[in-house]
Structure 1
């Protein structure tokens, strides 16, 4: 009998393949997106961690404004938590008018920060050099002679290019950091053997701790461990800033003091000679001695004013592109909780409805078996097996597909970094969550309905439930509208409101899918609007010219207007709290007059215009969020090797990049570096590619012009590629879910109303009229679902974009009208396609079987 009942279960599936497959597909789509997107963040983190482990990236870099010595290196190595510490040299060189290169020392014995060879090989001789793989775009090739200007710190200026490499110190494939040399931005890096350097001091000490190997890079646990180790190392080197100044000035001061004492002794001896006995030669010697004494005193004073060395400790977040990569990973992980979660919720909701109505339809069979003496557990087995099969098949298949496809696809789209090897992990926790959700949808709904039905008496179960009585609806009270409707329209509207649960579930199902699609289109719009909004609403200048002389005048017929300003890349960090650093563009106009024509400084909260004052700086909104800053907050800034602190006067709206705006007077007030308007902000008459390039050529021919850039047209590498790839997945899967949901709901609707539809066919309705009878209700429900779905989509979009903000990006919360149109059109098309399928199903209704007595 058990075998017979099991066959009946299989027959239930085979007789309604469409219903079973639709349930499996809904669960599959929900699980696919949920597991796939949620696994993406951990997979991105794991891929990065594997890469950093392979290249043995250091946990910390120690630098000093007065350089580092072997004494520093030995002290670092003596720290209990330090596994490895290696010192290296580095020089920053302006190679040409448009190129700044940082040359690092390379040692074959080095264990940390290993280079990854892209082509060629690593240097083996002192006259060999390897270049950043990014330098290939500048025309450099293997075997070429690489010439540098004569530079302090390097023994030679001519090298042979033997390879192109990537460095784990530079995760970004485009950005190489900032400097106070040339244009302020490093174009690429290079490595040559340490024997090619003649520097007495080291530029940096790379540190690897021995207690971080078991922690994944980028996680809070890893960051906390490094912070703790860093604090211990700082205390170890606490005395070094003063000692380092003494090391540099002590010998020189002793020498000056000896020379000064000697000259002063000679001066006293001359002064002891009476004036009448002093010859012209003696007087000249006395004058020379006085000048020498003055010169030595000034030299001594200058040495005594040498500041204490500032020791800086930069963790991996200071590596160019490192934080942006993990920010993007975290934004995808944040979206993974919202979008796929809502997606899965819709799938669970619709599946719950389908399963519960299937059991409700089989009331007569359940009642008959109860009357024959079968236990409640035995009767339930059929529906338990059906539900478990659908839930497990859908969730496991979706989980496996999601794990195998989405994370790898999104990783492949992250083309703005040097991580090329994908290393995924099996997301068992997310797969289990998807299976649980699938079973809640299928087995949970079956259990709820079975518990309710099995409480009833067999005689009650073997009878059909009495249909709901018709009621007057609100529309009937609107006489002008109701009286203009024909009979079929009135029947349709009464049916809609008669079965409120069915109506609400259908609207919610359609609205959920429409909302998911609109949110997807909205994400696309926000990503695409990022650059236009930044340069239309915030920054109104098109170009920046970097000058060697602040007083240099430039001119070109395509320049509409220009503004003198100091434009420098600086590093900003909070004075307390998180140790996170941010690379910020500092803009200090020579004059604040008409600055609003170049940059709109609108308060991020009040949207009112802010003015530059001499009492503080204005920072951009995302920078304020990252630094946990507000009006009155003190921030630490680093310009080259100079450190100073600034007070936040206001926060301004901004979409792309971190910026800090201040007056020239406030800069001179807080910084030891003298203000210099080294740049010009340009507004151009024509911004076409040809005119921009011609303007650049003309300006670069003028003496004193170091560089010409057009920020708007160089802003394609803003960490949004991964997010853009997610958008396509969202839209495609939301559309697929929409189609399956509509088919499922319509299928359930028809199966529930088989007797009603058979009745109207018996009454003489043609096939087209029967289809219209059902389709009219579907049209109303679809339209209501679309409108409600727009509201859901807007809320979902805003929530997602706020969570998706990464690095220096603050997305505009915009959804353009094509998104509304396409989400509505796709939903309508799916509804139409389902309507066509429904038409053929209705044509094949057997009126006699449907109207036969159920008693």
Structure 2
């Protein structure tokens, strides 16, 4: 019969039973759902990264790596797989497109960072590629990805082709979230990625090597961190050894190539000098021949003239002799008769001989003159040929000199190249080797922060849900036991033991708690992770389905707490009744003595109230236990609502506060060399056309030492001039702080809160060389992103004994935004264009644009909105259940009173007003109390929701206060509406029943 009455009790008070079950389900569901969410998220991500063989180390070197280096690193004992990769940023356009965009090209790797094919297939030929599935709105398979011609030569030289056929779309574990990285090209932002077959790159080296360890632990776990800590030094040493070998090999090959070039130059130069000497000798001979010929002509001309003159003189003499001989013959002919035969013969013979001789001489002279004429013609011809010969000589000489000049130019160029090669070899530095773990990957680091926020909320909120659930259970069961004290007395009189009687009520509350715990645990272990995973799915590219966690120990703890809250409260309520004898229990409790409430002692107010309001106020303040229970329950719900709304207020604008009010510069530059005054001047001149203002500062990572605690923070050392134009150091009261002087420091509020530091305290900073600085805190500034300590350069010099290296600059890329902090699209385009130009300048190693961090954290906050919405909805459901349960209890307790006023002629509306007026008053009082409690609870929650990356701004907007109160009243009105029908069903005959 006892069991039957127990089940009858459940059936007759089903609303109360369901209320306990719902409140426990909500408390357990909220606790377990949030608690397993991070575990589910991390397990899913861990499985995905394990399946995709996500790298454990990314190794880079300024000189690149070879296949031998990959083999050497893969032979490390702790390494399961190593893969060399080639990557380069390039401008591209899609087939048919007109706008150049930026893509990060990678080579497909095996064994590490395996790709998931969304559609199509992976590239197999040197002119094929697979692209980022987010890169194109439409299916791109079969289209071409065209490399733009305006890429720099080094980029084009790395690629085999200028057009790549798209064979598929892929998801890469390297790109876990929506961010695709920054670049020196275009507007500074990478639009997407593409993977080529290794043959698609025209390089004989790898730009990076990815390593995967042979021990696989869950991500973000201490075991994983331990294995990274244990292997990092060995991996770094191996990487440095490979880099050093490559460095020595490149130096050796460069020197050998230089020696070959020098040897070839010497041989060619010697041959050139010999050929030049021969050519100059031939030209000299030719010129000498010309000069000799010219002299010979002059000599021959003179000789010819002399001979001609002599011949002409001789001819004249011969002709004179012929004339004389002719006269002598005439005289001979005339004197012949007077001469003897002998004289005639002798004279005739003498004349004949003379005439023959003269004729012969004349002929000889005339022959000589003919020879002279021929010689003169030859000389004239030689004189005519002489200018041509000189011209030929001049042309040959000019050609030879041109050849000599060309050869000299080539040899000069060769000498310059050899000199430059020597300088390049001399300037080749030992390579910088970078061993990066997974935390260097933006998506991996961000996912830990995002999941940590969820876990932080799970550590705080469920406590209050359980407290309110315990309160509701205690109130419900106390009221139930009080109502049934007569039955308890009857059962004790009939001989039932205390344990048997308590078992009825323990089963009632325990079964409700058990069922509620099971419903809440198993449903919310699915719902909460699913909702939050969908929210984060907007940012992350995890293709794996969510891995749902059923945490058995967590379930057991939740069940134990649920049973403790419900059955413990029941046991306490029963125990107070069991101390009385049955005769006392069978009779109802004597009503409390009537007392005047405080308002009755103020006639000025009390006398102005109507009778019904006086009754309501007496009922509210006379029954202090009920009043306390209502105020605590409803104010707790209001506090939870305010905390959820305030959580969003504190989170949503931290990035805007950081980059609109504190770090007001556009981007920061990291240099690879110490920027001396000369380098700063040269850089400022070169960057003047794309920047508005630049401030050079020292920025480094140091350890903040407070007692036994050590924290890595970012230290900025500046001279202080113009610093407030780039970073506003403001305290919590929005007052501007002066830049610290020598041996002083200003640190951010999060560090001060975490380590209990305040104004006037001393702090110790230790740099990477182990040198320490002791500084006095003169200011605590507001800061929301990262952790900073600001000191003066004089402090650095005095305490460390050296000048700080200036390897950082803060930049205003364009005129400052509007007074309200609005960033126009045009201005942001200008900022990214400026950062892209600066990234391509000498000594610039990296550029960090504030807008990228703003977008990253902003998107993280958007996903957190889903978590906050869950908190608000759960708080709202909790408020509804509490109000419903407490109102139900109130009506049940006063059923005879309500029946009586109905008998007295109250209309249904008047009856409901009579009862619900008290609820409204109590709701108003509770809401006001809840606002104060919510403000405290919000501060407590924000203190416990900690992320190393961010410091949240603890503030609640006036709208959140209004919404918290308004929602509380909305729930109260809904409950009143639901309970109206219960009032209407109360029978008036109840008031006529005898208590006995």
| Alpha-carbon distance between aligned partners in 2 of 1:501 and 1:628, rounded to the nearest angstrom | 41
After TM superposition, the structure 1 = structure 2 runs for residues 448-487 of structure 1, keeping only pairs within 5 Å, are 448-478=572-602, 480-487=604-611
Task: Please give the per-residue CA displacement for 1:405-432, whole angstroms capped at 9, x wherever unaligned.
Answer: 2211111111111114322222333333
Q: Is 1:344 paired with 2:344?
A: no
SS state of the match for residue 682, structure 1? coil
| Alpha-carbon distance between aligned partners in 1 of 2:619 and 2:836, rounded to the nearest angstrom | 82
Q: 2:163 matched to which residue of 1?
A: 159
Q: 2:377 matched to which residue of 1?
A: none
Q: 1:171 matched to which residue of 2?
A: 176
After TM superposition, the structure 1 = structure 2 runs for residues 85-124 of structure 1, keeping only pairs within 5 Å, are 85-93=82-90, 99-107=101-109, 110-124=110-124
Q: Is 1:407 paired with 2:529?
A: yes
Q: 1:248 matched to which residue of 2?
A: 250
SS state of the match for residue 136, structure 1? coil
| Alpha-carbon distance between aligned partners in 2 of 1:821 and 1:316, rounded to the nearest angstrom | 45
Deviates more, 1:774-783 or 1:55-64: 774-783
2:489 alignment partner, one of 318, 342, 367: 367
Distance 1:710 1:82, change over 3 A: closer
Q: Is 1:205 paired with 2:338?
A: no
Q: Is 1:833 paired with 2:945?
A: no
2:540 alignment partner, one of 417, 424, 437: 417
Q: 1:780 matched to which residue of 2?
A: 921
2:59 alignment partner, one of 59, 62, 68: 62
Q: 1:133 matched to which residue of 2?
A: 133
Task: Please give the per-residue CA displacement for 1:201-236, whole angstroms capped at 9, x wherever unaligned.
Answer: 432222222222xx3212233222222232343455
Structure exhibiting the larger radius of gyration computed from Cα positions: 2
* 1:367 to partner: Cα distance: 1.1
Q: 1:193 matched to which residue of 2?
A: 197
Distance 1:621 1:297, change over 3 A: farther
Q: 2:327 matched to which residue of 1?
A: none
After TM superposition, the structure 1 = structure 2 runs for residues 630-669 of structure 1, keeping only pairs within 5 Å, are 633=765, 653-655=782-784
Q: 1:25 matched to which residue of 2?
A: 22
Distance 1:662 1:191, change over 3 A: farther
1:229 alignment partner, one of 210, 225, 231: 231
Distance 1:186 1:602, change over 3 A: farther
| Alpha-carbon distance between aligned partners in 2 of 1:419 and 1:183, rounded to the nearest angstrom | 28
| Alpha-carbon distance between aligned partners in 2 of 1:710 and 1:85, rounded to the nearest angstrom | 35
- Structure with greater helix share of residues: 2
| Alpha-carbon distance between aligned partners in 2 of 1:723 and 1:56, rounded to the nearest angstrom | 29
* 1:753 to partner: Cα distance: 2.8
SS state of the match for residue 65, structure 1? strand
Kindly indicate whether the alpha-carbon contact (under 8 Å) linking 2:17 and 2:509 is maintained by their aligned counterparts in 1: no
* 1:622 to partner: Cα distance: 7.4
| Alpha-carbon distance between aligned partners in 2 of 1:184 and 1:570, rounded to the nearest angstrom | 23
Deviates more, 1:309-318 or 1:609-618: 609-618
Q: Is 1:388 paired with 2:510?
A: yes
Q: Is 1:12 paired with 2:9?
A: yes
| Alpha-carbon distance between aligned partners in 2 of 1:689 and 1:137, rounded to the nearest angstrom | 30
After TM superposition, the structure 1 = structure 2 runs for residues 74-89 of structure 1, keeping only pairs within 5 Å, are 74-89=71-86
SS state of the match for residue 66, structure 1? strand
| Alpha-carbon distance between aligned partners in 2 of 1:533 and 1:524, rounded to the nearest angstrom | 14
Kindly indicate whether the alpha-carbon contact (under 8 Å) linking 2:502 and 2:574 is maintained by their aligned counterparts in 1: yes
* 1:315 to partner: Cα distance: 1.4
Q: 2:501 matched to which residue of 1?
A: 379
| Alpha-carbon distance between aligned partners in 1 of 2:831 and 2:704, rounded to the nearest angstrom | 44
Q: 1:357 matched to which residue of 2?
A: 479
Q: 1:315 matched to which residue of 2?
A: 437
2:851 alignment partner, one of 711, 714, 722: 711
2:686 alignment partner, one of 540, 551, 555: 551
| Alpha-carbon distance between aligned partners in 2 of 1:79 and 1:700, rounded to the nearest angstrom | 43
| Alpha-carbon distance between aligned partners in 2 of 1:569 and 1:404, rounded to the nearest angstrom | 50
Kindly indicate whether the alpha-carbon contact (under 8 Å) linking 1:184 and 1:569 is maintained by their aligned counterparts in 2: no
After TM superposition, the structure 1 = structure 2 runs for residues 789-804 of structure 1, keeping only pairs within 5 Å, are 789-804=930-945
* 1:403 to partner: Cα distance: 1.8
Q: Is 1:748 paired with 2:884?
A: no
Relative to the length of structure 2, the TM-score reads 0.70
* 1:328 to partner: Cα distance: 0.7
Q: 1:609 matched to which residue of 2?
A: 737
Q: 1:724 matched to which residue of 2?
A: 865
After TM superposition, the structure 1 = structure 2 runs for residues 231-310 of structure 1, keeping only pairs within 5 Å, are 231-234=233-236, 243-252=245-254, 303=425, 306-310=428-432
Kindly indicate whether the alpha-carbon contact (under 8 Å) linking 1:563 and 1:680 is maintained by their aligned counterparts in 2: yes
Task: Please give the per-residue CA displacement for 1:409-461, whole angstroms capped at 9, x wherever unaligned.
Answer: 11111111111432222233333333223222322222222233223211121
| Alpha-carbon distance between aligned partners in 2 of 1:243 and 1:136, rounded to the nearest angstrom | 43
Q: Is 1:46 paired with 2:47?
A: no
Structure 2: runs of 5 or more not aligned? 94-98, 267-409, 671-681, 841-846
* 1:15 to partner: Cα distance: 1.6
| Alpha-carbon distance between aligned partners in 2 of 1:200 and 1:700, rounded to the nearest angstrom | 32
| Alpha-carbon distance between aligned partners in 1 of 2:806 and 2:255, rounded to the nearest angstrom | 24
* 1:133 to partner: Cα distance: 3.0
Task: Please give the per-residue CA displacement for 1:801-828, whole angstroms capped at 9, x wherever unaligned.
Answer: 4444547443332322222222212211
Q: Is 1:430 paired with 2:554?
A: yes
Deviates more, 1:682-691 or 1:790-799: 682-691
Q: 2:390 matched to which residue of 1?
A: none
* 1:365 to partner: Cα distance: 0.9
Kindly indicate whether the alpha-carbon contact (under 8 Å) linking 2:188 and 2:832 is maintained by their aligned counterparts in 1: no
- Count matched residues: 808
SS state of the match for residue 203, structure 1? strand
Q: Is 1:683 paired with 2:805?
A: no
Kindly indicate whether the alpha-carbon contact (under 8 Å) linking 1:655 and 1:809 is maintained by their aligned counterparts in 2: yes
| Alpha-carbon distance between aligned partners in 2 of 1:147 and 1:849, rounded to the nearest angstrom | 89
| Alpha-carbon distance between aligned partners in 2 of 1:785 and 1:657, rounded to the nearest angstrom | 39
| Alpha-carbon distance between aligned partners in 2 of 1:610 and 1:617, rounded to the nearest angstrom | 10
| Alpha-carbon distance between aligned partners in 2 of 1:623 and 1:180, rounded to the nearest angstrom | 34
SS state of the match for residue 312, structure 1? strand
Kindly indicate whether the alpha-carbon contact (under 8 Å) linking 1:43 and 1:425 is maintained by their aligned counterparts in 2: yes
| Alpha-carbon distance between aligned partners in 1 of 2:112 and 2:637, rounded to the nearest angstrom | 50
| Alpha-carbon distance between aligned partners in 1 of 2:146 and 2:684, rounded to the nearest angstrom | 28
Task: Please give the per-residue CA displacement for 1:604-650, whole angstroms capped at 9, x wherever unaligned.
Answer: 7995435499999999777999999997646779xxxxxxx999998
Distance 1:827 1:418, change over 3 A: same
Q: Is 1:506 paired with 2:639?
A: no
Task: Please give the per-residue CA displacement for 1:164-220, whole angstroms capped at 9, x wherever unaligned.
Answer: 3221112111x22345666655443332222333444432222222222xx321223
Distance 1:219 1:625, change over 3 A: farther
1:37 alignment partner, one of 34, 38, 62: 34
Kindly indicate whether the alpha-carbon contact (under 8 Å) linking 1:260 and 1:297 is maintained by their aligned counterparts in 2: no
Q: 2:385 matched to which residue of 1?
A: none
Task: Please give the per-residue CA displacement for 1:622-679, whole angstroms capped at 9, x wherever unaligned.
Answer: 7999999997646779xxxxxxx99999885344688999999999965586x88986
